[in-house]
Structure 1
Amino acid sequence: MKDVMTGPETLGSCAQKLEWDDPFAMTQQGFKRFRRRKGRDTSAPEHDSALSGQADSVSPTSRSSKTSARDMAASAVKATSRLSQDGEHNRFARRPKTGRRQPIEGLAETDPQPQRLPVPLPEVWERLHRVPLDIRGHQVARSPLVNFFRNSPTANAFDLLRTRLLHSLKVQGWKRVAIAAPTAGCGATFSAVNLALSMARVPGTRTVLMDLNFRRPGVAAALKLPPSGDMPGFLAGELTLPEHLIRPAASLAVGLTAAPDRNAAEILHDGRCASVIDDMVLSTGADVALFDLPPVLEHDDAAAFLPQVDGVLLIADGTRTTAKHLAACEKLIDGQTQLLGVSLNRARGAGLLQYGQ
């Protein structure tokens, strides 16, 4: 390499060339020498200011470019985070599909299927098994039932007894009536069945007839119904009302005894018997409950059941019942329940046995 700094003219011409040809290539020594020159050009300040302005204009641009790049990066980060937050809280944002519907917070989970209300059961009376009477069979056999011989004096006598009894029960607020006779063969079962059929014809009334004559049950035979029914089991609370009671008519329910039972008095003495009778009258909504009992003077069955009834209707036989029998029955009933009256059966010369005429 050649040494260009050999003489003063060469240095001056080289420095002058560097100063005016390429201002940005000026060295520090040349710049000092340039400032000491007396014959400084007037355009130098403008050039110097231009240089400084150019430097000022360049450096802020570079700084602003760097600053704007940083601001843009920060803004992008903020926008990304804001979009992610909005996506979490925005209910319209797209969510991943799952097998179950996502529950909304604050709302209870509901079943899309319509709710089915429980269907109420019909009342006990409507659930009793209906066993209609064989009307044709009764007519052929000429059964002594008032429903089939409405024009007979016997039917008129039972209708009159029914009306008087209903009035007495309504005045006193009673419902339970025991039907019994002093001795066997006086027609207590016959009277109980016909009185129940006559009461069942009264509109808007419900009558229950219970066969409690465990010595000689006869209600099923009088109504020509199958000899079914477990009366001892029912009074012990082992059977429900629909399992034991049947309805031969729309407003009449009967409880039958299938066979005789020697433990009749013990069955009626049982404390469960009283609670079952109370529940039966309340659940069926019966207006009148009739109980066919065995003879009063022959066994203690009737005496054991008398506290469960409101009154007793005595059935006397015009051919065999005496005044002494009636006096003994009144003495036994007194203090336990009320004597509602005495009905005379087989009255002499009344012609009440002429059924079907």
Structure 2
Amino acid sequence: MDSIRQAVELARSGDSPAHQEFIGGSKPIATAHEAASTREVRLDVDHLEANRIVAFATGSESGRYYDMLRTQVLQEMDKKNWQFLAITSPTAGCGKTVTACNLAMSIARLPERSAVVVDLDLRKPMVANYLGLPASGGVLSVLDGQVPISSAVIKAVVGPNSLFLLPGSVPTSGSSEWMSSQTMTTLLQAIKREFRSHTVIFDLPPMLLGDDVISILPRMDAVLLVTGVGSSSVADVKECQKHLERVPVVRVVVNKVSEDVDTYYGSYY
């Protein structure tokens, strides 16, 4: 009751920040008015390329596949005015995080487009690792009320372009509980409000490793399923289809088709 009373008093106060949301009953999610506190980090190109993050530069031979995927995904999302895109895979090792990062960077290169990547693979957060960011703070710190969202979000700059990141930090065994919680709903509402002009890409856990993805799918607008040759079977994909019947699937990416450079990054349909 004290936390509710405190929230009401803050809302009535003339000098309190507008539209603050409370996570865990104590800490507020900061609003766009506090965006000046967002950290800006310049990403290391060599680190990105070593981790197969290649879509940050125009004209990249490998990146053009992500540009094609970008155009098809955005066309589908624009038809329905969708904002939230979930990226998942049947099992581990399919390349979903690589796909999420590359797709976001490809979107960020478009004029009048902006992208946000949110690492919701709470069991094994890898976005920060792939992009060369320090594993501190992150989405879990926002969920448990340690920091406001404005302090956890990072503006990642590479070349002339930038995108926003809400990375993960340490793995948690409570992923399933967080995914289905009202606290997560509050966080998603804050992200939708503060980044309403952005395409928000959520890197989710593999679908068949638990009920995490199933719990949060109803809050997503669309799904991109990443499969990997040698990592997921036809039976795995069919099992995923059962859970995706009520959520629009914009594309299925088939990763690791061969080791040839021109086709390594996969195909899609």
* TM-score, shorter chain, exceeding 0.5: yes
Distance in 2 between residues matched to 1:334 and 1:353, nearest whole Å? 29
Equivalent position of 2:131 in the other structure: 223
Where in structure 1 do 4 or more consecutive aligned residues deviate above 6 Å? none
C-alpha distance in structure 2 between counterparts of 1:353 and 1:224, whole Å? 25
CA distance in 2, matches of 1:255, 1:308: 18
Q: Give 3-state SS (helix, strand or coil) of 2:42's partner.
A: coil
% identical equivalent positions: 29
Higher strand share: 2
Give ranges in structure 2 of 5+ residues lacking alignment.
Answer: 1-30
The separation in 1 between residues aligned to 2:172 and 2:219, in whole angstroms, is: 20
After TM superposition, give the deviation of residue 239 of structure 1 in Å.
Answer: 3.0
Number of aligned residue pairs: give it: 232
CA shift digits 1:149-183 (9 cap, x unpaired): 65554311100000111111111110101000000
Residue identity matched to 2:42: P
Question: What is the deviation of 1:340?
Answer: 1.6
TM-score norm. by structure 1 comes to: 0.60
Assess if the C-alpha contact under 8 Å between 1:317 and 1:346 holds in 2: yes
What's the TM-score once normalised by structure 2's chain length? 0.78
Q: Which runs of 5+ in 1 are unaligned?
A: 1-120
Matches of 2:142 and 2:87 in 1, distance apart?
Answer: 20
Matched to 2:140, the amino acid is P
Match of 1:345 among 236, 249, 255: 255
| CA deviation profile, 1:293-318 (whole Å, cap 9, x unmatched) | 11101111111111110011000102
The structure that has the greater radius of gyration is: 1
Which protein is richer in helix relative to its size?
Answer: 1
What is the letter of the counterpart of residue 239 of structure 1?
A: V
CA distance in 1, matches of 2:51, 2:141: 30
2:156 is matched with which residue? 248
- Do the aligned residues in 2 keep the contact of 1:210 with 1:290 (CA within 8 Å)? yes
95, 99, 118: which is aligned to 1:210?
118
Residues in 1 aligned to 2:255 and 2:264: alpha-carbon distance in whole angstroms: 13
Please tell me whether the aligned partners of residues 208 and 290 of structure 1 are also in contact (alpha carbons under 8 angstroms): yes
Q: What letter matches 1:191 in structure 2?
A: T
Give the 3-state SS of the residue equivalent to 2:207 in structure 1: coil
Match of 1:293 among 195, 204, 216: 204
**8 Å Cα contact 2:70-2:103 kept in structure 1:** yes
1:116 aligns with none
Structure with the larger RCO, 1 or 2 (CA within 8 Å, 6+ apart): 2
Matched, 1:317 2:225: no
CA spacing shift, 1:273–1:346, aligned 2, 3 Å: same
1:302 aligns with 2:210: no
